[in-house]
Each structure stands twice: as C-alpha cells, then as structure tokens.
Amino acid sequence: MHDVRINSTIEPPEPSTTLARAVNIGCSGWYYWHWKGQFYPEGAERSEWFSIYQDRFDTVELNAPFYNWPTVATIRTWLRQAREDFVYTVKVSELITHIKRFDGTADLIKDFGFIADTLGPRMGCLLFQLPPSAKFDPVLLDTILGQLEPRHRNVVEFRHKSWWNDEVFAAFESAGAIFCSTSGPRLPDQLVKTADDIYIRFHGVEQWYRHDYSQRELQAWAERIHQSGAKRVWAYFNNDRNAYAIKNAKMLDGILTGSN
C-alpha cells in the first residue's frame, strides 16, 4: 500500500465537502454468519448479504481492516458493491493501534489514509481503537494526535476510563479530532463532543456485544445527541449477538429522524 500511495495520482478529497448527510447510523460490520436466519434470509447467498444490508442502512463500520490490511482490489470491491450515497467508516489496522501503539507509525497512518482518499465521497471516518491496557498518558496523547492527518475525519476510541478527562478533551478539540463516545461495560456513560462531528459506538451495557438496548436507553442517547449541537452524527452498533445491532440501529435512527 505504501508504494501505491507514493505513486498515486489521486487528488485527496476534503472531508467537509464530500458528505452532506447529518445522521449516519449503521452496524459495526455486516458479514456475520449468525445473522443468517435472523437478518439475512436462510436462502440468501453470502454474495447477497451486503446488498441486503445496504437496503436497510446508508453506512457501515468496517472492522475487517483492523485484522487484515485492505488491498487495492478490496477497496475497489467496496466501491463497486455500494450505491453512490453509501458511506464506509474504516477501522484502522491493529498494527498501528495495538502492536506499535502509535510508536513511529506516521507513514503507516498515511498509507492507511490512502484508503480514505481512494474511497473519496464514500468515505466516512477513520477509527483508531486502542486496547484496554492503554491507560491515559500525556506523552501517548501527544503522540497519537501528532500523527493524525487533519484532512481526514479521525476518531479515536479508548477502552480505559482514564482517558475521559478534560486534558484529553481539550487536546482533541485543538487537534480537530473526534473523541469516540463509547457505550460499554465499565466505561463512562457520557457523550463527548470535541469536534463538529460526534461519534458513538454501542457495544453493550453490562456485557460486551450482546446487550439489547431498550427504547428508553436509546432515547437518553438521542437527547444527548440533540443537546450536543453536533453538525454530523456517526453511530455504530457493535452488539452483533442475536442481530441486536440491526434492531437497535434502526431504533436509534427512528428516534433521531422522527420516523419511529
């Protein structure tokens, strides 16, 4: 990917001019075997799953790139399979966030950013998720923010509660980065806004990935979203067990848009 980026003639798009939709709600991934018979019809071929998914949603958070660096052919497939107004958010490789932990990863981040440039108007956010073992460290904070490319919508998700503090929020605001608000066990139940866009990941309340959010729980988040004054909302549901993500994403979308 590095050589492809260096030799590319693609003109990087500006995020603020490539997307008009104010509310972007979807699921963290779409390729789940256990959704067959729950969301995907029993008789549907795997090749049909994405088409079925995008009949219901306008965006998806791609988790696969976290484990396997996408090839150019893969990115072209993403472009080919999606309708023109469909938007991808891409989870950044664990090589950057978990293995190297942002130690000397500026070029790797640029290489990954080439994915965003290639997707153009179908690109949403780049999601950088750190491991729970990464506790607040002002040096690490500066290291992370110093390597992000401001022309992308950069979202950073922490999994340790020590990062929820005013020093971090102020640094994110100065860098124009998006602090990921996270609904997850033992994490602050708080909507954080550090940029014009807000980003929320729903993992579960008491258990990871298997919580079925109630109307009341999602109504509370909707009220926070409205009160935040954000220009654009990104919300992805990662509670994929029993296809709760599908159900809850549609529920929150309905609450926010008034279609419920």
- Tens of pLDDT, residue by residue over 231-247, are 999 999 999 999 999 99
Q: Are 66 and 38 in contact (CB under 8 A)?
A: no
Q: Are 28 and 239 in contact (CB under 8 A)?
A: no
Confidence of residue 21 (pLDDT cuts 50, 70, 90): confident
Domain ranges of the chain: 2-6+20-257
- Tens of pLDDT, residue by residue over 44-60, are 999 999 999 999 999 99
Q: Are 107 and 147 in contact (CB under 8 A)?
A: no
The amino acid present at 241, given as its one-letter code, is R
Mean pLDDT, range 8-29, rounded to an integer: 69
Is pLDDT of 258 > 90? no
Is pLDDT of 4 > 60? no
Dig out the tokens for 95 from the structure.
């090589």
- Tens of pLDDT, residue by residue over 117-157, are 999 999 999 999 999 999 999 999 999 999 999 999 999 99
Confidence of residue 97 (pLDDT cuts 50, 70, 90): very high
Average pLDDT over the chain, rounded to an integer: 92
Share of the chain above pLDDT 70, in %: 92
What pLDDT shows up at residue 5? 37
* Contacts with 189 (C-beta within 8 Å, 6 or more apart), sequence order: 183
Give me Rg for the CA atoms of the chain: 18
CA 226 – CA 257 distance, rounded (Å) = 11
CATH among 3.40.50.720, 3.20.20.410, 3.30.2320.50, 3.40.1280.10 for 2-6+20-257: 3.20.20.410
CA 238 – CA 203 distance, rounded (Å) = 5
* Contacts with 146 (C-beta within 8 Å, 6 or more apart), sequence order: none
Dig out the tokens for 177 from the structure.
């980065």
Q: Are 92 and 115 in contact (CB under 8 A)?
A: no
